[in-house]
Chain A
Amino acid sequence: MATAPDLREIEQFLYHEARLLDENRYDEWLDLYTDTATYWVPLERGQKDPYETSSLIFDDRKLMEARVRQFRHPRRHAQTPSSRTCHMLGHIEPLDDGVGNAIRVRSNFILVEFRADRQFIYAGACEHRLVRAGAGYKIAAKRIDLVNSEGVLDGISILL
């Protein structure tokens, strides 16, 4: 597909991903990702790779599937009660011309999590690598850089 990307379509796709997470529709969320996708929340600012340095989360398809399955188990204690979340996305901008099969998209986000009478706020920048799949997109990689990734954090038991 050699047409330039439609920014509106990309925005709608990212909003859709966020909505699936906010509505705890994890199986549908997983379906947005390719079989070889990675989901990465680096530990360090500007972290180069997920293999030589630890990550808050670094999931391949295998671990993404296990993580989603874990949500369904009645003894997923850290999600009992389950979190309610609200994603706010902004500053959505393509990072390349997208002429071809793939496009990288940068966005900023604020995420509020409420669970067990406590509220947590996460914020940061995302980079999605999207690939054309039929009429729409799939996510080949998502990188989430939290502003406080190097700070002290309570356990993260949600998907960002």
Chain B
Amino acid sequence: MNSLNVPKFSDLIRPDRVHRALYTDPMLFELEMDRLFGRAWLVLGHESQVKAPGDFFTTRMARQPVLVTRDEGGAIRVLVNRCPHRGAVVCTEERGHTPHFQCGYHGWTFACDGALKHVPMANAYPEDPRGLGLRLAPVPRVAVYRGFIFGSLASTGPELLDFLGHMRTSFDDMVDRAPDGEIEVAGGVFKHAYDGNWKLMLENHNDTYHPAHVHASSIYAAKEQSDDTPTTGAGEIAVRQMRQNGVPPDVWDGLGLWTAAYGHSLMGDYHDDKRLVAALKDPTFAAYRAALERRHGPKRTDEILGVARFNTVVYPNCTFMSQFRQLRILHPVAVDRTIVYTYSFRLKGAPPQMFRDTVAFANVVNGTGSPVLTDDLELYARVQQGLLTQANDWVYVGRGFGGDVPDRDKTSRGSVGTSEIHIRNQFAAWAQYMAQAQ
């Protein structure tokens, strides 16, 4: 098959397998940008990135540059980062604070809500451009849930809360863990890329079948590591996390793995290391728990800390770890190239050491030089290369097929934790988005 001869979408997806064209066909990728990324709610960031009026950051939606600001009135705005005059990108900074945005080409100047404030030498226009509705165009829909900023390039579609469904509870988990009830982006942003389709990362993050194989070398290296070697504390967290990836198969199979409408999924947690997950014996966690109890009392604190999740996937552009305060936003660049931004969050009111542990955890799990992540990226590239072969058009995602069972809050649960139910669910959503023109 090639780009000029795309079969019907319904021919590309079967109940337990999917056509390789979904990962390799440039024309399908263009359609995805329009019908899927151009329509779904996309995670853009967090309110703590735009705390005060005039704060801003730039990002992308379906490859298009956008600007997220807090305007003079305190409202969050998501604007297409493109001058209405001749089309130049207006803001080239990644983040900052400004009273206004000025286009570098002819000096057109915009307020933080996108309104056109000033046009140099405006007298040569037959009509004042400010009266023509020219402005930084707002993204059609913007919504915030528990501080997380979402945008959609489509003017109609499901409300954010309906879109998120049960995934709301993972955002709740992330925020509820803060003793002061608030979290904030902190500790820098990792930006890594891989030579593979954007779907490969979303499929991998709830794939509990892969760690024993993809991460065999880091598991080995960590298990062989002496506990007596000097550490600043950072290596300690890293070695412990790498060891955890080597839990036995029955632990992975015993995990919960849930899917929901719109392609989302979440998995249970596999950690039992008492430096990585809240435990009273660890002095940092004891102080943390005490801070939570001061706010919520022991019963509610038990409930909060009793939520045990690893990755949550919000299809199609975000995965996050509510318990470990990590969030990734993916940016598709081309059918075979993807950029991923990773953010860490600080729990306000938690002991300072908690955030130091978060930073060390981020380095080993999401860091560009991570002994763990780099092996995932290599496998994405190998899949991408393998799918260029024509001998076999199909990718088999039949693990656990037939065993999916309905569960609470409109979710389905995989028969085992290593089921590929989340991948089948992503393709079901893909087909729904792709079947309709905008």
Contacts and interface: CB of A to CB of B under 8 A. Distances in A.
Contacts of B379: 77
Interface stretch (A61-69, A88-96, A106-114, A130-138): A61-69
Given A54-B359, A69-B225, A153-B192, A63 B234 contact: yes
Contacts of A157: 369, 374-375, 378
Chain A residues touching B, majority SS: mixed
A65 B226 CA distance: 9
A50 interface: yes
Nearest to A148: B191
Interface stretch (B79-87, B145-153, B212-220, B409-417): B212-220
Given A43-B188, A62-B236, A66-B238, A156 B371 contact: no
B240 to A, nearest CB: 10
Contacts of B235: 59-64, 66
B194 interface: yes
B138 to A, nearest CB: 27
A70 B220 contact: yes
Contacts of A73: 216-217, 220-221
Contact of B230 (A52, A56, A60, A70): A60
A67 B186 CA distance: 26
Interface stretch (B26-34, B116-124, B175-183, B360-368): B360-368
Nearest to B361: A54
Interface in A1-57: 35-36, 38, 41, 43-44, 47, 50-57
A44 B234 contact: no
Contact of A62 (B186, B220, B231, B356): B231
B356 A52 contact: yes
Contact of B225 (A47, A52, A55, A62): A62
B397 interface: no
A56 B369 contact: yes
A77 B217 contact: yes
A51 B374 CA distance: 22
A152 interface: yes
A144 to B, nearest CB: 10
Contacts of B369: 41, 55-57, 155-157
Given A62-B230, A62-B235, A155 B373 contact: yes
Interface residues of A, number: 42
A75 B377 contact: no
Given A54-B187, A69-B225, A63 B239 contact: yes
Contacts of B344: 54
Given A66-B235, A156-B374, A54 B367 contact: yes
B355 interface: yes
B10 interface: no
Contacts of B382: 77
A62 B192 contact: no
B355 A61 contact: no
Interface of B: 186-195, 213-214, 216-218, 220-222, 224-226, 229-236, 238-239, 242, 339, 344, 355-356, 359-360, 362-363, 367-371, 373-375, 377-379, 382
Given A35-B229, A66-B225, 13 more contacts: A47-B188, A52-B355, A53-B187, A54-B363, A55-B363, A66-B242, A69-B220, A73-B216, A153-B192, A155-B378, A156-B369, A157-B369, A157-B374
